[in-house]
Structure 1
Amino acid sequence: MPKRGGNIVVIGSSGPSQFLLTNFILGREAFSKDVYSIAASQKSLGELAGRRVAVVNGPNLYDKDLSKSKMRKELRRSMCLSSPGPHAVLVTFDLEKISPNDMKTPKLVMKKFGETVLNYTIVLLLYDGHLRGRALNDRVMRTDWHLRELVEQCSCRYHIFSKHWKNRDGSKELLHKIERILRAVDGHCYINRSYQRAEESVRNEERKLQKKRQAEMEWTRQELEVQFQGDELRWQMDAYNASVGAEIWAEAELENRWLRTSLTVGLGVGFVAGAIMGMIVGSVEGPAGMAVGGAVGGVVGGTSGAAIQVAIEHLDERVGPHASSFNRLLLIASLGNLGSECGKRVF
């Protein structure tokens, strides 16, 4: 029986590297070679060097197709899927395509997951070139200063894996590096305030779902008691309880109050931002324009949690950057007051 390995969160900056890494860890094609991004965080179960692991893929951090509110919700979802916390965070890059923007990734990971998350982080480099062994490691730590800087931010923890993910020769080496992280943090998974909220929300949802299915579960247990006896009954009962428990937990991870709150807050901020935007733009056309602009702007803004920036951009397009300077300040001040009220609830 494989040993328990824990939770691994995989994050990508861009491209398919994080999905090829997931295939490498699991030893199967969880993602096709054409996948460059995912709309929602996903969890996959498998084995790494004889240990059971749960691999959680979050969104690519620089995905331009995800709004800020959607990105926030998906990062929350990845926390719920990896609660009570990850034992390792793997940040992936394509070694041949690292850009200056990628140098900001560790700082961005800290911003999204917490200040001490880099203690649990390993840089994973996707590579399919001609260099091997010492020459390849020298390139990372000596030749390319930007690579060295990137790796040093994660205490020089890095691992190089091949695009040919079916060759898992490096799987034990990767597991050993993860185990070294665990020894350094005394075997504990990474926990911060957001992860505590995630676990609490998942467990609360789990209890609700158990209560909701209580009658169904009791009926099934009674049916098992009619069909089986002795050791066979105990085996069937344990198998059923484990199956239902895993099903309920999986549902609670994907749908719980913390995730619903992030969506509701985003829509609320967007609605008010849109209403303010519409009223300001409408004021240029007079009192009637304010009324119509406020109503329409509220509807439009309510469709996006990122309406603040959209509002300002549309305002500039409508009345020009100079004429809107006062209105821009009014808009930002109004949204700032709203943000201070909602900030404690937003990721």
Structure 2
Amino acid sequence: MAASGTQSELRLVVLGPIKPGNRTAVCSILGLEESQRDAEAQECTKHRGEAAGRQVVVVSSPAWYASACSPDERRTHISSLIASSSPGPHAFLLCVPVNEPARDESMALDALAKLFGPAAVSQHTVILFTHTEELGEDETLEQYVVTWRKDLRQLVERCGDRYHTLESGGGGAAEEGRAVEELLEKVEQAVKESGGNHLSCPLYREAEDRVRQLQTEIIRQRSANSSASDSQQEVTEQEMEAVREEAERSTGDFDLNLDDIFPSDDKSVSPSSAPPSLLRGLWEKLVGWVRWLPSLVRVEALFGALVGLFVGGTMGGTVGATVGSVATEVSRRKTEKTK
């Protein structure tokens, strides 16, 4: 039984919130029009097609690792992701906006390592940067990450220094096509370095067993309901794929011990436990202040430290370090302009 597609098929899992940057990633890889995807989808979706001469399956998953996601939603999203990408993805593509702090994305890597093993991060994850239009005109993505964003640099290092962007900067279809081809080449290189196989672990082996069992049951049930002559007909590859996807959707939730990965949130009110929307708004305001207050350019590090103290917790350290970097960059650019 052809349970999981051809051997040459690349399975990719795009992780990230359902928003334009990540929808564009999926559409770019498979050459889909935006109208072909449900812009309001809040569940895992699966697309199959051809990209740069390769057969590709792209599973798009919501940001179940975000603190705003409820435990029940998180379990459902992860279970759906596992079933849809069984018997295991060749790569996770973690969407990371360059204009926001990377706290949730760091938690995502922690969760992937605990769910699927350390190799899921070190060998099978590529950081996919979005919103790169926010960078300066003469600033490359590499320069920005290496020089000014320690939090983003740490994400890349954890993923074996693999990162990419599909945003062509208005370069047109040809440049977008090259960006997709380069991404798939990086995925294939990562697969080669990991031994030439997709990610495999107990969860994915359990998922594949479930899917195959359900696939067999669905085919038997349909054969029993059909006429004798119809039941003797061979099942086509397209029919097998459709039955498999039906089986994937019917696997139900897996027995996941998520409490150790996502401890229950402390309901007490404190700066470190503020809602993500509040922290994101604070981030945007702070960046705006840095841009408009040149008097702070000589106290960049102090400013960043004060921000970190105000926000508090692990999040405070990340935001403080990043705001300090932004202030330093403002100082550098203003100095260059006055020369």
Aligned-pair distance for 1:188? 0.5
Match of 1:159 among 158, 164, 172: 164
Aligned-pair distance for 1:184? 0.3
Aligned-pair distance for 1:59? 1.9
Aligned to 1:290: none
Match of 1:150 among 133, 150, 155: 155
Counterparts of 1:120 and 1:96, CA distance in 2: 24
- The one-letter amino acid paired with 2:62 is P
Aligned to 2:61: 58
Match of 2:246 among 248, 251, 260: 251
Q: Greater CA deviation, 5-14 or 168-177?
A: 5-14
Query: 2:28 is paired with a residue of what secondary structure?
Result: helix
Root-mean-square deviation (CA), in Å? 3.6
Aligned-pair distance for 1:94? 1.4
Query: 2:99 is paired with a residue of what secondary structure?
Result: helix
Match of 1:72 among 66, 75, 79: 75
Cα deviation code 1:59-100 (max 9, x no counterpart): 213456642122112211111111110011110111222344
Aligned to 2:209: 200
Counterparts of 2:193 and 2:100, CA distance in 1: 31
Question: Given that residues 59 and 84 in structure 2 are in contact (C-alpha distance below 8 angstroms), is that contact kept between their aligned partners in structure 1?
Answer: yes
Distance change in 2, residues 1:97/1:261 (3 Å):
closer
Aligned to 2:195: 186
Q: Greater CA deviation, 148-157 or 37-46?
A: 37-46
Question: Given that residues 65 and 74 in structure 2 are in contact (C-alpha distance below 8 angstroms), is that contact kept between their aligned partners in structure 1?
Answer: no
The answer on 1:213 being equivalent to 2:247 is: no
Query: 1:249 is paired with a residue of what secondary structure?
Result: helix
Counterparts of 1:204 and 1:75, CA distance in 2: 20
- The one-letter amino acid paired with 1:91 is L
Distance change in 2, residues 1:17/1:169 (3 Å):
same
The answer on 1:128 being equivalent to 2:138 is: no
Query: 1:7 is paired with a residue of what secondary structure?
Result: strand
The answer on 1:8 being equivalent to 2:12 is: yes
Counterparts of 1:3 and 1:245, CA distance in 2: 16
Cα deviation code 1:265-313 (max 9, x no counterpart): 99xxxxxxxxxxxxxxxxxxxxxxxxxxxxxxxxxxxxxxx9x969x97
Compare relative contact order (CA 8 Å, sep 6+) and give the higher one, 1 or 2: 2
The answer on 1:86 being equivalent to 2:89 is: yes
Aligned-pair distance for 1:140? 1.9
Question: Given that residues 18 and 41 in structure 2 are in contact (C-alpha distance below 8 angstroms), is that contact kept between their aligned partners in structure 1?
Answer: no
Distance change in 2, residues 1:47/1:309 (3 Å):
same
Distance change in 2, residues 1:78/1:215 (3 Å):
same
The answer on 1:177 being equivalent to 2:180 is: no
Match of 1:138 among 140, 143, 151: 143
Aligned to 1:49: 52
Question: Given that residues 156 and 162 in structure 2 are in contact (C-alpha distance below 8 angstroms), is that contact kept between their aligned partners in structure 1?
Answer: yes
Distance change in 2, residues 1:215/1:192 (3 Å):
same
Counterparts of 2:18 and 2:253, CA distance in 1: 27
Counterparts of 1:174 and 1:81, CA distance in 2: 21
Question: Given that residues 62 and 77 in structure 2 are in contact (C-alpha distance below 8 angstroms), is that contact kept between their aligned partners in structure 1?
Answer: yes
Aligned to 1:291: none
Counterparts of 1:186 and 1:203, CA distance in 2: 25
Question: Given that residues 79 and 254 in structure 2 are in contact (C-alpha distance below 8 angstroms), is that contact kept between their aligned partners in structure 1?
Answer: no
Aligned to 2:21: 17
Q: Which runs of 5+ in 1 are unaligned?
A: 226-236, 267-305, 314-347
Q: Greater CA deviation, 12-21 or 178-187?
A: 12-21
Counterparts of 2:152 and 2:189, CA distance in 1: 22
Q: Which runs of 5+ in 2 are unaligned?
A: 1-5, 268-339
Aligned-pair distance for 1:143? 3.1
- The one-letter amino acid paired with 1:23 is C
Cα deviation code 1:252-272 (max 9, x no counterpart): 01002xx15659x99xxxxxx
Query: 1:55 is paired with a residue of what secondary structure?
Result: strand
What is the identity percentage for the equivalent residue pairs of Structure 1 and Structure 2?
Answer: 25
Query: 1:106 is paired with a residue of what secondary structure?
Result: helix
Counterparts of 1:7 and 1:254, CA distance in 2: 17
TM, length-normalised to structure 2:
0.64
Bigger radius of gyration among the two: 1
Counterparts of 1:242 and 1:33, CA distance in 2: 24
* Number of aligned residues: 255
- The one-letter amino acid paired with 2:31 is G
Distance change in 2, residues 1:214/1:248 (3 Å):
same
